[in-house]
Structure 1
Amino acid sequence: MATSSSNQITIILFCLLSTIIFNSSSLLMCNSMIIHCDEKDENTLLKFKHEVTDPSGVLSSWSSDEEKDCCQWRGVHCDNITHRVTELHLPCDTIQSDEILDKDDEKPHCLTGEFDMSSLFDLEFLSYLDLSNNDFKTIKYDFNSIHNNKTCNDSSNIHYLDLAYNYHLFSDYNNMLHQISHLLSSLQFLDLSGIDFYKETDWLQSLISLSSLSELHLDDCSLKDINPSLQYANLTSLKVLSLSSNDFSSILPSWLFNHSHISYIDLSENYLHGQLPQTLPKFHQSIESLCLYDNDLEGPIPDWLGQLDQLKALYLCYNNFDGQISTILKNLPSLLIELLLHSNFLTGTVSQKNFHLFSKLKNLGLGSEYLVFDFDTKWIPSFQLQILVLENFGPKFPSWIYTQSSLELLSILNSRASFEPLEKFWKFAAQLEVLVLQNNSINSDISNVLLDSKVVIMQLNNFSGSVPQVSPKVTHLELSYNNLSDISPFLCQKMKGKRNLETLFISDNALSGEIPNCLMNWTSLLQVDLRNNNLTGKIPHSIGSLSRLIFLSLEKNKLFEEIPLSLKDCKNLQYLILGGNAFSGTIPSWINQRIKILQLGSNQFSGNIPIEVCQFFSLKILDLSNNKLSGSIPNCLHNMTSMISPYASMDVLKILIPTKYSKRGFSFVYFRVVTKYMVLDFVHPICLVDLSSNDLSGTIPSELFMLTGLRSLNLSHNQLMGSISQHFSNLTLLESLDLSNNLFSGQIPQSMSGMSFLGALNLSCNNFEGKIPMGTQLESFTNLSYVGNSKLCGPPLTKLCPQDEKLPNEKQKREEEDDDDDSSEVRS
């Protein structure tokens, strides 16, 4: 957003200016004296270097053997007079798009390992610490020793602490925020975004003691409780509050509106509901940016927004707000630079009359299915937009869009406009950095279109013809859910200049024919999704040229033959989705050990399950169903350690979109899996093992019961035998279990009745015997879960167990005795 961007630019300029001033003053001082940093500080820094792992040599200049003084070491800043270390700047470089996709991923170029942060408090004058975006696994603390340290009062000198996006940091600690706030009471800036604080149940109370805190960033931290009943939070110095992408599911908290000095609030991408307060908040004279988009807020947009004299950015899109658009726009302050109101339930007519005061607008989002667009065809706005999002307009295309020569991002969704003449539109689109056309009424052959925007997302538009050509500028191309028929001209096109395409998504089209052997032209590709088409033939040998490839989906086509050995050269491949084809041969043993999703179901693979699958330490989904596999299930599945953690299924798998307009540069990718007898799309992929419909034999290895993060297990339609182990109950998070159509025997263990998350169960067509265990969970299933087991008895089956057959007779006998007693009383 503009406000955030301007703040970043200000910070960058300030840092550059500070660096120039610092270097100039240092140069002058070097003429008169030799600078030496404090020996104690130097030893502390060397201890830190020894504790961490530094794969890229970031700390290579940190050495007591070199002539460089420690104040000249990379990332170290010292006071010009005392020469004591005051600042440590060690953030990892910008996320590399071919490395980081989700929270489980390693960052091989960043600082990693573990370190004892309490040792850094020996830097008595340290005021600024930035270790953001590294990959520290754990951080050791001895808070008691810090408090008992004679310099513990000096530790409060730290005013700036940034540990953001060290995804594994603090994950095993309770009350860590309380410890930090108690120790660093003088903090002015705190950013712990991306660190999982799911155990922090009272995070706000922990931070209230930070009376000097000016900026707080806790985005994407799995926080759940935002204290909606709290009336006032004593964060008296707070100016910036960013809590986006958490799990808040309450009403908006009262304390949020009772801070008179706050200027920036971001609670976007949560699950907040209810209405905005109708009374004027205390921040009405200070607030500059209010971001509440992508929640479940509803009701009217209050009139007090017009009294926010300093408001420059208002993000309310993707909610359930209602009301007349003309009234809302009339009440908004004219200083607005960013206004996003689309994807709500606003009503009425919007025209040029509503915008005559908004000359400063740079970002605009409008549209709902109940909103009518009525702009004059000759209108030329007084503003020049950089971002424009329009929804549900038509039948006329707003001609004023063509007057926006500064436009960089254009998103048109769910429109009924014709876009005619298309030649004019494509020419205008060439100036854009980001073009989004989704679910519009554009029936057009785009074979001869040349796309020239960095990011192109054009889904659900009924485009036909060949996949259009792209310029070297394009990095992200998404054309899914159209009617495109030929990909060969695109893949084999000649191009002047280096190709930079990283993302190619053309799923759910009508692509046919073979994939041409031209992939060597696209070595920049990171993600390829061609699922749900009519492609035939084999995967071309040139697939091995895509050494950067991370994500490959060719699911549900008509591809055949073996997976080419050249795919082994795709050493970064982490998502391989090839289900629903006619691939044959054995499952390759050379698949990358970093694989996270392996979907090879509904093919013609034969042979055994390779023992190498046990080396897939990061695997979350293993789908080998509906093939011709034989042999036993490997007894080493417990080595797939990503399926052991109870939080394994919570990690969001994300694909990088390289644009400055995505909040953190990410776009979700949905993985399709079959569970609970349904086909579901997951943004948070569940941990799943599906080996059904093969010819597997033997027993279930006990090691499988160590995969305690499993949510779905399907072993149905095989030749498996033996009894069900009591250890099945270890899979406490299991939601779907299918063991049907095998040769299992023995009794169903009573321990399974405690599997409280189990929502789908199929044990039919086996040789189970005895009574179905009592327990709320197992009794909740119908007889369909147990049919085909002739020796099973008890509810929900109608067959009674031998031990239960006497119960009705005894009950009847007691009733008869009661009847006799009643008759005696009547006679008497």
Structure 2
Amino acid sequence: MMTILTSQMSLFLLLLLFITTFHKTMCSNHTVVQCNEKDRETLLTFKHGINDSLGRISTWSTKNDCCAWEGVLCDNITNRVTKVDLNSNYLEGEMNLCILELEFLSYLDLSDNKFDVIRIPSIQHNITHSSKLVHLNLSSFNFDNTLHMDNLHWLSPFSTLKYLRLSGIDLHEETNWLQAVNTLPSLLELRLKSCNLNNFPSVEYLNLSSLVTLSLSRNNFTSYIPDGFFNLTKNLTYLYLRGSNIYDIPSSLLNLQKLRCLDLSQNYFMISSSIEYLNLSSLVTLSLSGNNFTSHIPDGFFNLTKDLTYLDLHESNIHGEIPSSLLNLQNLRHLYLSYNQLQGLIPNGIGQLPNIQYLDLSENELQGSIPTTLGNLSSLNWLFIGSNNFSGEISNLTFFKLSSLDSLDLSNSSFVFQFDLDWVPPFQLTYLSLENTNQGPNFPSWIYTQKSLQLLDLSSSGISLVDRNKFSSLIERIPNEIYLSNNSIAEDISNLTLNCSTLLLDHNNFTGGLPNISPMSNRIDLSYNSFSGSIPHSWKNLSELEVLNLWSNRLSGEVLTHLSASKRLLFMNLGENEFFGTIPISLSQNLQVVILRANQFEGTIPQQLFNLSYLFHLDLANNKLSGSLPHCVYNLTQMDTDHMDSWYVTTVVLFTKGQDYVYYVSPNRRTIDLSVNNLFGEVPLELFRLIQVQTLNLSHNNLTGRIPKTIGGMTNMESLDLSNNKFFGEIPQSMALLNFLGVLNLSCNNFDGKIPIGTQLQSFNASSYIGNPKLCGAPLNNCTTKEENPKTAKPSTENEDDDSIKESLYLGMGVGFAAGFWGICGSLFFIRKWRHACFRFIDRVGDKLYVTLIVKLNSFRRN
């Protein structure tokens, strides 16, 4: 019994101990440990200037422990903040560097946000030299220099800093940036990309012995690098000076014996012949692309280092031949020499580079045939030699040992392809471009064997015949891009389901119905074929579609209802088909180009079509649309502003200059064509306020009303056609301001009056104005005399006014004379006294005159 009680007591005590321990553990896990109050206040001060519209730091509240705030990490023992990481949180407003006053902070990353101002308090007085900061990244979001910093003196207290990144911050006022950086003895990495730096300060007394990574790309130094610049540190392994407007390389570069990666691309220096004396034995990566050398590569250039594995000299305007010293780079794996002016042959010794994996010689002026030794490069993964002046044959032997080949570009070449019909290559390609080569008339049979293709480009290669089953299987399994434009393939692919994101089959002879398309398709161009029938049901799911071109086929049905799910659609060309139905109001709000020309669409034009702010090309011509144009605010922003943001360019046939006219649809040309429909009513004034429109065609409708004076504000107008409507009234004088007008047709309307005088309006022949019976003036027949000569007409009016004034004057004088005459004579007649006095006055005057006359006569006789 005692044994049982003892056992029970032991079990009870054990259970009690377990519960106590468990309770303490649970309590300890849920104990809220408050972070340091000073750290909390500093973080809240930093937050005060931030606009956090997305609520990314909504946890930063006095209700929560700051060690649990988003992006904040504290030490487990001291509970002091050691790390703040808020990169890529779309924070806006003020970046207050008071956050650097966190005493135990070792890591701060505020990069890739949208701050617009940096506030730098007097942090030198609040930071001890025992600061723990090791990593500091304040790089801007878009490298657009919207963030400005006057100087870098505030960095001096951070003696422990090893990684400093300030890319994208405008530092153009900091003239001694290198001296400021020199105060950081532990610095390993410095990135000042796109900081608008414009000088290399004196470096004689500087020492950055710990620096291993230096990035000063995308600045504007406009100067030479000081000769002693690379004496700053001998431990540098990564140096990036890409696109910084540098003119020369100093000899002190030779001191960087540990340099592994050097990027001097997109600058303006020349390859000096003295480079053959350089020795960068540790260099493994060298990028000098995007420069303007305008010279050949010195023969000793590739003696710089024998350990080079990556060499990029593409797009650097290099002339001459490929130097033989290239063959010394036995470790070379990446060689990019594309987009230069290289001439001559590919060296036969190219096959002596056993480790080469990526070889790009495209877009040059290289000649001759491909050396057979090229087939020995068994490690070759990438071979791009298209767009040169090569000739000769390419056969099975050229690729005999290239079992690792993954990407092949032979485009724009004049090779004679001599592949055996039953040849099976030793490789499986993912990328193949044979654009603008002579492959036809048969589809190359060896391509059918490629099971891994993701991109196939056989545009303009003369193909007309395919193996139906093999061809169908091939294009069905390609997941990314298919380019077969400008061939003569005549196949029915209506039963296929194509899974590629980009499908370009335009300018062929494909027949039958349209194929089923993957919901992930992004760009489809099936124009200039003979497809018929309606749009497949599967097309209702094209949610990723951005570009659709079905121009010039035999398609029919209510196509627009099938595109309601395509909310990302930018370019829609359905012209020259037999589609019918109405234009829905639920089209993509991102549309930039809408072409429905030459179909059977009917009904009214929806108001929503004039609220597509990105639209710059609208063509609804040659349909059965009716009703009036919507009277609403035309929110066609791209037709009303200079800014244009679009990339897609294509060719279509438009009736725009009095004839069928082929031109490029591009953002540089804003077009509205509503011609040949049944539209009626007045044209809204809003249409004539789209000042960036260059082509406006409203012809062959029943539109009425006057041309508003605001048309004079459409100063970019180049083609205007309002013919065959019912417009009336005078042509506004403001049209004389359309100085770029090259095409004008106002014929067959009811315009009257005189054609305004203007350089442009009189330059068109009479056909631009005929069919307006009451319209006159050059270049039409003369108007009536009164209307023809306005200079004469005006003085005539003035003469008429003068005559009226004279008549009024003479009439007034006559009336006055008559009134005076009868006033005096009437008084003499009715008043006797006045009459006798008048007679006596006349007698006296007569007597005086008689006496005077006699005296004068007697005096004359005596003389």
Shorter-normalised TM range: 0.5 to 0.7
| Alpha-carbon distance in structure 2 between the residues aligned to 1:615 and 1:546 | 23
> Residue 180 of structure 1 aligns with which residue?
148
Q: Secondary structure at the match of 2:432?
A: strand
Code of the residue aligned with 1:117 in structure 2: it is G
Structure 2: gaps of 5 or more residues: 1-28, 102-106, 128-132, 156-162, 182-189, 197-217, 231-237, 254-260, 794-863
| Alpha-carbon distance, 1:512 to partner | 0.6
Question: 1:412·1:437 contact (CA, 8 Å) conserved in 2?
Answer: yes
| Alpha-carbon distance, 1:538 to partner | 1.1
Code of the residue aligned with 1:609 in structure 2: it is I
**TM-score, normalising length: structure 2:** 0.64
1:12-67 CA-partner distances (Å, limit 9, x unpaired)? xxxxxxxxxxxxxxxxxx9999684832465468668873237xxxx488464997
Question: 1:209·1:234 contact (CA, 8 Å) conserved in 2?
Answer: no
2:368 to 369, 372, 384: 372
Question: 1:635·1:704 contact (CA, 8 Å) conserved in 2?
Answer: no
| Alpha-carbon distance, 1:371 to partner | 0.7
Question: 1:529·1:552 contact (CA, 8 Å) conserved in 2?
Answer: yes
| Alpha-carbon distance, 1:507 to partner | 1.9
Question: 1:451·1:468 contact (CA, 8 Å) conserved in 2?
Answer: no
- Kindly report which structure 2 residues correspond to 1:387-536, keeping only aligned pairs within 5 A, or say none: 387-392=383-388, 393-397=390-394, 399-415=397-413, 416-421=415-420, 423-424=422-423, 427-428=425-426, 431-443=428-440, 444-445=442-443, 451-463=451-463, 464-465=465-466, 466=468, 467-470=471-474, 474-488=479-493, 491-492=496-497, 501-515=500-514, 518-519=516-517, 522-536=518-532
User: Highest Rg: 1 or 2?
Assistant: 2
Structure 1: gaps of 5 or more residues: 1-29, 92-110, 133-138, 171-175, 194-202, 220-225, 244-251, 494-499, 654-668, 808-828
Instruction: Name the CA shift for 1:281/1:79 in 2 (closer, same or farther; >3 Å).
Output: farther
Question: 2:46·2:97 contact (CA, 8 Å) conserved in 1?
Answer: no
- Kindly report which structure 2 residues correspond to 1:561-580, keeping only aligned pairs within 5 A, or say none: 561-563=557-559, 565-580=561-576
| Alpha-carbon distance in structure 1 between the residues aligned to 2:297 and 2:741 | 40
- Kindly report which structure 2 residues correspond to 1:531-570, keeping only aligned pairs within 5 A, or say none: 531-563=527-559, 565-570=561-566
Instruction: Name the CA shift for 1:388/1:85 in 2 (closer, same or farther; >3 Å).
Output: same
Q: Secondary structure at the match of 2:429?
A: coil
Question: 2:551·2:575 contact (CA, 8 Å) conserved in 1?
Answer: yes
- Kindly report which structure 2 residues correspond to 1:226-245, keeping only aligned pairs within 5 A, or say none: 230-232=222-224, 239-242=239-242
Larger mean CA deviation between 579-588 and 397-406 belongs to 397-406
1:39 and 2:40 matched = yes
| Alpha-carbon distance, 1:615 to partner | 4.0
> Residue 18 of structure 2 aligns with which residue?
none
| Alpha-carbon distance in structure 2 between the residues aligned to 1:45 and 1:472 | 55
Higher relative CO (CA 8 A, sep ≥ 6), structure 1 or 2? Answer: 1
| Alpha-carbon distance, 1:613 to partner | 1.4
Code of the residue aligned with 1:501 in structure 2: it is C
Q: Secondary structure at the match of 1:583?
A: strand
| Alpha-carbon distance, 1:558 to partner | 0.9
Q: Secondary structure at the match of 1:595?
A: coil
- Kindly report which structure 2 residues correspond to 1:147-186, keeping only aligned pairs within 5 A, or say none: 160-164=137-141, 176-177=145-146, 180-182=148-150
Question: 2:494·2:512 contact (CA, 8 Å) conserved in 1?
Answer: no
| Alpha-carbon distance in structure 2 between the residues aligned to 1:371 and 1:282 | 27
> Residue 89 of structure 1 aligns with which residue?
87
> Residue 826 of structure 1 aligns with which residue?
none
| Alpha-carbon distance in structure 1 between the residues aligned to 2:164 and 2:721 | 54
| Alpha-carbon distance in structure 1 between the residues aligned to 2:480 and 2:496 | 14
Instruction: Name the CA shift for 1:343/1:328 in 2 (closer, same or farther; >3 Å).
Output: farther
Question: 2:375·2:402 contact (CA, 8 Å) conserved in 1?
Answer: no
| Alpha-carbon distance, 1:628 to partner | 2.2
| Alpha-carbon distance, 1:428 to partner | 4.6
> Residue 623 of structure 1 aligns with which residue?
619
Q: Secondary structure at the match of 1:720?
A: strand
- Kindly report which structure 2 residues correspond to 1:45-124, keeping only aligned pairs within 5 A, or say none: 51-53=52-54, 59=56, 62=59, 64=61, 70=67, 73=70, 82-83=80-81, 85-90=83-88, 116-119=92-95, 121=97, 123-124=99-100
Q: Secondary structure at the match of 1:609?
A: coil
Instruction: Name the CA shift for 1:32/1:637 in 2 (closer, same or farther; >3 Å).
Output: closer
1:421-444 CA-partner distances (Å, limit 9, x unpaired)? 25536x456x22322221111122
Larger mean CA deviation between 391-400 and 327-336 belongs to 327-336
> Residue 788 of structure 1 aligns with which residue?
770
| Alpha-carbon distance, 1:736 to partner | 4.8
> Residue 770 of structure 1 aligns with which residue?
754
| Alpha-carbon distance, 1:539 to partner | 1.0
| Alpha-carbon distance, 1:534 to partner | 0.8
| Alpha-carbon distance in structure 1 between the residues aligned to 2:54 and 2:596 | 37
| Alpha-carbon distance in structure 2 between the residues aligned to 1:601 and 1:153 | 72
Instruction: Name the CA shift for 1:210/1:738 in 2 (closer, same or farther; >3 Å).
Output: farther
| Alpha-carbon distance, 1:549 to partner | 3.1
| Alpha-carbon distance in structure 2 between the residues aligned to 1:472 and 1:85 | 49
Q: Secondary structure at the match of 2:193?
A: strand
| Alpha-carbon distance in structure 2 between the residues aligned to 1:705 and 1:640 | 12
Code of the residue aligned with 2:456 in structure 1: it is V
Q: Secondary structure at the match of 2:343?
A: strand
Question: 2:621·2:676 contact (CA, 8 Å) conserved in 1?
Answer: yes
| Alpha-carbon distance in structure 1 between the residues aligned to 2:221 and 2:95 | 39
Question: 2:380·2:405 contact (CA, 8 Å) conserved in 1?
Answer: yes
| Alpha-carbon distance in structure 1 between the residues aligned to 2:757 and 2:678 | 29
| Alpha-carbon distance in structure 2 between the residues aligned to 1:721 and 1:557 | 35
| Alpha-carbon distance in structure 2 between the residues aligned to 1:232 and 1:455 | 44
| Alpha-carbon distance in structure 1 between the residues aligned to 2:765 and 2:271 | 52
Q: Secondary structure at the match of 1:468?
A: helix
Q: Secondary structure at the match of 1:724?
A: coil
1:216 to 184, 190, 193: 193
| Alpha-carbon distance in structure 2 between the residues aligned to 1:598 and 1:421 | 47
Code of the residue aligned with 1:532 in structure 2: it is Y
Question: 1:582·1:603 contact (CA, 8 Å) conserved in 2?
Answer: yes
| Alpha-carbon distance in structure 2 between the residues aligned to 1:594 and 1:453 | 32
| Alpha-carbon distance, 1:162 to partner | 4.4
Instruction: Name the CA shift for 1:383/1:127 in 2 (closer, same or farther; >3 Å).
Output: same
Code of the residue aligned with 1:439 in structure 2: it is N
| Alpha-carbon distance, 1:609 to partner | 0.7
Code of the residue aligned with 1:722 in structure 2: it is G
Question: 2:616·2:667 contact (CA, 8 Å) conserved in 1?
Answer: no
Question: 1:596·1:619 contact (CA, 8 Å) conserved in 2?
Answer: yes
Code of the residue aligned with 2:565 in structure 1: it is D
Larger mean CA deviation between 449-458 and 435-444 belongs to 449-458
| Alpha-carbon distance in structure 2 between the residues aligned to 1:587 and 1:70 | 58
1:549-603 CA-partner distances (Å, limit 9, x unpaired)? 3332222211112226343234444432211211122222332334333221221
Question: 2:669·2:693 contact (CA, 8 Å) conserved in 1?
Answer: yes
Instruction: Name the CA shift for 1:508/1:188 in 2 (closer, same or farther; >3 Å).
Output: farther
1:657-711 CA-partner distances (Å, limit 9, x unpaired)? xxxxxxxxxxxx6475859754333565644332233232333322234545545
| Alpha-carbon distance, 1:481 to partner | 2.2
1:652 to 647, 653, 664: 647
| Alpha-carbon distance in structure 1 between the residues aligned to 2:304 and 2:655 | 50
Question: 2:547·2:572 contact (CA, 8 Å) conserved in 1?
Answer: yes
Question: 2:117·2:148 contact (CA, 8 Å) conserved in 1?
Answer: no
Question: 1:562·1:584 contact (CA, 8 Å) conserved in 2?
Answer: yes
1:204-245 CA-partner distances (Å, limit 9, x unpaired)? 9679776566352599xxxxxx999944589979943555xx
Code of the residue aligned with 2:599 in structure 1: it is N
| Alpha-carbon distance in structure 2 between the residues aligned to 1:153 and 1:724 | 72
Instruction: Name the CA shift for 1:674/1:335 in 2 (closer, same or farther; >3 Å).
Output: farther
Larger mean CA deviation between 183-192 and 616-625 belongs to 183-192
* Percentage of matched positions with identical amino acids: 25
| Alpha-carbon distance, 1:404 to partner | 2.8
Instruction: Name the CA shift for 1:285/1:330 in 2 (closer, same or farther; >3 Å).
Output: closer
Question: 1:388·1:411 contact (CA, 8 Å) conserved in 2?
Answer: yes
1:697 to 650, 667, 680: 680
| Alpha-carbon distance in structure 1 between the residues aligned to 2:779 and 2:167 | 54
| Alpha-carbon distance in structure 2 between the residues aligned to 1:163 and 1:560 | 52
| Alpha-carbon distance, 1:372 to partner | 0.7
Instruction: Name the CA shift for 1:450/1:798 in 2 (closer, same or farther; >3 Å).
Output: farther
